Structure 1
Amino acid sequence: MGVSAVHDGNVGNNPDWWERRAEQSADEEGVAPLSIYHIGNNPLHLPVHKQALREPGMVVLHDMGLVDLAKHLSYQSDDPDLWKWQMREQYGEDVYALANRSENSAACHNEMAAKYPLFQPFVEKALGVIVHSRYARDALFRHLPTGIPVKQLNLPAPAPPAIASRDYLSHPLRFVFCGHLGPNRRLIEFFKAWGRLDSPGKISLELFGNIRNNKQLIQYAEHFGVADYLHFRGYVEESELEKALHCAHFAINLRWPTMGEASASQLRYWSAALPTLVTDVGWYGELPDEVVCKISADSEIDDIHALLEDALAFPEKYQRVGQCGWEYLRSQHSAETYARELASFAQELCSRRLAYRALDQE
């Protein structure tokens, strides 16, 4: 069994091969074809979901909280309350009222995202589901129809390069943030904790990626007294980002509420042997304590402040955290192991489907 084509949903229409797929026979006699769908909380994944309904296959679920995807489906279906009905179908009547309140309250939205991740309508017709955390696996076991196989695999990554040497005694300590900036990435809270330091200038922060509301972010940074140490880089070439990661001392990867994801950014930080601040929830909470710097969601600002003070006083011990993360990536996130396990699971699903067809024909 091999991969014949890949489509990531970034174009408006399905590719020609997609529409012909159902008409094609298996490449090998006696082997049923199997589509593999990667679905996350992004409106661009809606065509992938629709095809998964037409031709059920294996779903690789990258996020547990798919409410943004569900809202986009509601908009396309001209049914603005569809996503709320989906929430109620998965969790019961009480969550419908919370979903209504979430449209006008950030606190209610966070509560909904943290306690009631919406995923059931996007995987209930799957032949099997792959997830990347115990958090996701256990949630699927509670809410999926009986009989849908679920397999947990560690998100794959390339083998990391040699660990870069860093001077953790130099100032400022360089922090980096990468990716899409949403309210669950907790930068405002980081600013507040950072601003409490006696000498906030001993730390600098570079931000890479999709930073749309930088004016508002600057206002918060000014309010907390850290704006002079903040640097917006935006999108950069891969080589420039790699250089920045290998020159930095720490990374910020806080997520609350979590969408249930296993973080590809975290794998990249480990590859650069960067000690990383993470929120102690979901997949991040499952990680060994020695490979990340865990921050409690209940005492977030105090925890961040204490860690920053400790990092300035004893920076060398955090260098060891980065090294442990690098070793964990190398031992637990092998791309070869992932591919082998995925292929084995796909073969299992094909065998199950052939068995069902044989029973139907009897």
Structure 2
Amino acid sequence: MYQDIEVDELFSGKEKETVTMIDVRSPSEFQEGRIPGSINIPVFDDQERAEVGTIYKQDSPEAARERGVEIFSEKLPAFLKAFQAIDGQKVVYCWRGGMRSKAAATVVDLMGMTIHRLKGGYRAYRKWVVHTLDELNLTPAFFVLNGNTGTGKTAILHRLKEEGYPVIDLEGMANHRGSIFGHIGQEPHNQKTFDSLLVHDLLTYQDSPFIVIEGESKRIGKVVLPSFLIEKKEQGMQLFIELPVEERVKNILDDYQPWNREEAYLQAYERIKRRIHTPVAKDIEANLKAGKFEQAIEQLLAYYYDPRYQHAAAQYEEGQKIVIKARDVDDAVHQVKQVLPAYHPNLRGKRL
């Protein structure tokens, strides 16, 4: 017989690294919010869920269960085959640990596969996320990457993470680049998804001597950073990256590739052009429409982004900031690593 497992038990030990989480809710529920790393094997698709729900409200719970069993029975072979393709430990969950996860766990168990069910389902997990973020005592020091638009801060973070450094990519968790153009080509995450990704990374690095993040504002796209993270960021050592303008323009072109979504960039530009001196704003718009993206980006940096960023360095005391003047991203990565404390990931974050 399958067994229930508590959220705290699931995410407090080594088991969390080897378990596959299986979400049996409908695809739209899965899209709205899920446990990171989960895969979706739905008991009902969206249309079937709506049908069963309507029967429950308009007829009776018994009739809804009967229709649910009928629908589920028809897809059992494919459903079980999907579970059989998953190696290792499996934990199934639905919205609140109800009938869908119970039905899934029961049939999988009857086929001889070991399965656990998450007690309380996704709702219990969401409560755990909120509670953990509220109560978390974050001890690592913070190193914060700052710099004008185009200085490759996200690329630097990714390079550091590839080498095993404790890095939290807030823009990646928000699935938004943080600028007025940051949503283009992305599907920005909602707050639930962001919170889930954030809490797991914070717990992963809780024993590290430090964490490296980017100097984000309180809001990134659709999501808002928790207050304690803003405070840690403001208290951290601020690293200000400086690159030549031509390198910054190149980085922006490589990241955004505006020629692939010209109309979207023009629409986004409409939201900021009133903040730029009118003749310059018209010139930028003309360059965007003409596909002269390099010129347009240079103008946006000079007349919009750089002036708005100039105050950032001034708000920190001299002992709290380090300026890194680099030729390119490779050079910046090298210099940042010289600033960070001695660290080796095999020591689980302990200082050498």
Larger-Rg structure: 2
Normalising by structure 1, we get a TM-score of 0.29
Normalising by structure 2, we get a TM-score of 0.29
